[in-house]
Amino acid sequence: MAAQSIPSPPPHQSQSSTPTLASMQSESRPVISLQQPSSKKGSSKSSKLFRRFRSVFRSFPIITPMCKIPVTLHGNRPQDNHIHGGTRMTGTLFGYRKARVNLAIQENPRCLPILVLELAITTGKLLQDMGLGLVRIALECEKRPAEKTKILDEPIWTLFCNGKKSGYAVKREPTDEDLMVMQTLHPVSMGAGVIPSEATENPDGELTYMRANFERVINSRDSETYYMMNPDGNSGPELSIFFVRIG
């Protein structure tokens, strides 16, 4: 009796159905749906008139974000935690605990960031300082009268934390990871936590973040201040970030 041959399976049955690492990464990475900020479309005539009106009163006492910031600066903040005349923005501090912390400023959580800075402070150290009380970050750069660069477009800053020089802050374009973090956090208006390493695809572990609303106050073309707004009044960590051109 002739031996019967066993038919070989079709080619498509012999191929593995296990997804590749590349396909798994592409499926886990969120689609970037952040919108362009309105500042990219040009400021309105009314906002220009408002800034011109403010410049008339520049002789009034304002907060100068120099490196010699007194510890009691803004100690008597209003109970509603609101700076009149300011614009509400979204600020996010994020980074790996032993790596440098990043600061992203957005018009709102659904917009692309208008500013991303890398600060010469580790994420763990900044979180430790904030746990101890008030934190004042002053960013200074040299004023060049011949140039008309917007203050947030300056490429590098000298960094002071609570009056102590702490290196530099460097502006950079948002990376793919920055955009991934902003996209992941877009449902979050304020809060703190970690993003698992599986989502960031980074071997450094979990990425820590803190997001809050900030009041942006434009003192002059050479001075801007961002005050963190606490939902429960004056309790909890408080952070102020000063941008200033001197000279």
- What pLDDT shows up at residue 132? 85
Q: What count of Cα atoms within 13 Å lies in the side-chain half-sphere of residue 74?
A: 25
DSSP character for 149?
A: -
Dist CA 81 CA 234 (whole Å):
7
Kindly give the parts of the chain with pLDDT less than 70. Answer: 1-30, 39-85, 198-204, 231-237
Beta bridge partners of 93: 103, 210
**What b/e readout covers 133-144, taking b as 16+ CB neighbours within 10 angstroms?**
ebbbbbbbbeee
- pLDDT tens track for 179-216: 999 999 999 999 999 988 765 566 667 899 999 999 99
Long-range contacts of 143-149 (CB under 8 A, 24+ apart): 143/222, 143/245, 143/246, 143/247, 144/247
- What pLDDT shows up at residue 58? 39
Chain-centroid distance of CA 96 in Å reads 14
Q: What count of Cα atoms within 13 Å lies in the side-chain half-sphere of residue 128?
A: 7
Domain extents in the chain: 43-73+81-246
- What pLDDT shows up at residue 247? 83
- What pLDDT shows up at residue 229? 87
- What pLDDT shows up at residue 10? 52
Question: pTM, whole model, 2 decimals?
Answer: 0.70
Characterize the bridge pairing of strands 239-246 and 135-142. Answer: parallel
